[in-house]
Amino acid sequence: MIIVIDGPAGSGKSSTARRIADRLDIEYLDSGALYRTATLIYLKANRDKETFFRLLGQKKISFYYEDQIFHVTVDGQSVTDEIRTAEVTNAVSEVAALPRVRSFVNNLMREVVLDGVYIAEGRDLGTAVFPDAELKFFMSADLEERARRRLKERKEKDPGLTLKEVKQNIAERDQKDSKRQADPLKKADDAIEIDTTNLTFEQQVDKICLEISTVLKETE
């Protein structure tokens, strides 16, 4: 069984999905981390697409969720921290827009969810990757609020970061994600929309958990 949460950058998808996975004791799948992993490989290929796609086909990418962290390894070596660097963040939209990359990541995710109950978050899961998902959510929040949240997350590791910079980065990411040719960001017609602008973190988690718990009981 797969449950998906889509939404723009900074809407709270990742933290919410992790909390739900912990609370309901289900598996968590971070699609963004997989795109970041592909981006890391792209950067290590010096942005040469021919080399990049050759490496992408050769590398063994593994991932698992443990202790509230989504771990990723490439050829047995952890890249969990490396994929969160600013260099990867700045390039991930470019790489994620490539149809061959999207197909590669989508296949990774589809293979892993064949058994068990998973909650996954991303930008096109309910429309392109898992159109038949049992439950779909679309999380949103206004740009200012999303920027404040992202700044709070990153301030400790990047003390010089400003709200203006984060806001601009998110706005650019929104534009790229919604306009890309391959699987653009959009709300699935059957998704439940959760506007988190004026919700506390626990309130948004509670709303989604209630919906999921109802469906899980029906499938028992």
Structure tokens at 205: 């988690």
Instruction: Return the CATH architecture of domain 2-204.
Output: 3-Layer(aba) Sandwich (3.40)
- Residue 26 has a pLDDT of 92
pLDDT at 43: 97
Instruction: Report residues of the chain scoring pLDDT below 50.
Output: none
DSSP designation for 211: H
Domain boundaries, the chain: 2-204
* Residue with tokens 């990359």, as numbered in its chain: 101
In degrees to the nearest 10, what's the CA dihedral of 39, 41, 47, 48?
A: -130
CB 83 within 8 A of CB 33: yes
Q: Quote the pLDDT of residue 194.
A: 92
- pLDDT tens for each residue of 27-62: 999 988 999 999 999 999 999 999 999 999 999 999
Q: Can you give the pLDDT at residue 169?
A: 86
Q: What is the pLDDT of residue 191?
A: 95
DSSP H stretches of helix in 59-200: 86-96, 99-112, 143-154, 163-179
User: What's the pLDDT score for residue 116?
Assistant: 86
